[in-house]
Amino acid sequence: MASNLWNESEIELLVDLWGKGFTTKQVAHELGRTSAQVRVYVSRHREELNLERRSEYFRVMTPTSSVITEFEKEWQGSVPYLHWSITKPWGAR
């Protein structure tokens, strides 16, 4: 298991790779650390290292297709109050 302490060479490599646009996963692979360790370190030291904020975490969750079907348009919106009581057969066991 990798140590939680970061040495100067790791920090320099992190800043260099981050500036070149490497993803968190790629940086973690190069450093021999986990993606979570890199994310936490970057979030805690972003200002002092002058690292740009990224939206890579949201890119993973966005759909690959920008086409929204009619079905998706009908079902977008908030979940109705007590929606489980509508869909669950409460009397059946």
Question: Global pTM?
Answer: 0.56
Per-residue pLDDT of the chain (93 residues), as tens digits, is 445 799 999 999 999 999 898 989 999 999 999 999 999 999 899 999 998 887 655 444 445 556 667 777 776 666 666 666 566 566 665
Give the C-alpha separation, 5 to 14, whole Å.
Answer: 14
Report domain extents, the chain: 8-61
Topology of domain 8-61, CATH: Arc Repressor Mutant, subunit A (1.10.10)
Residues 6+ away with beta carbon under 8 Å from 45: 51
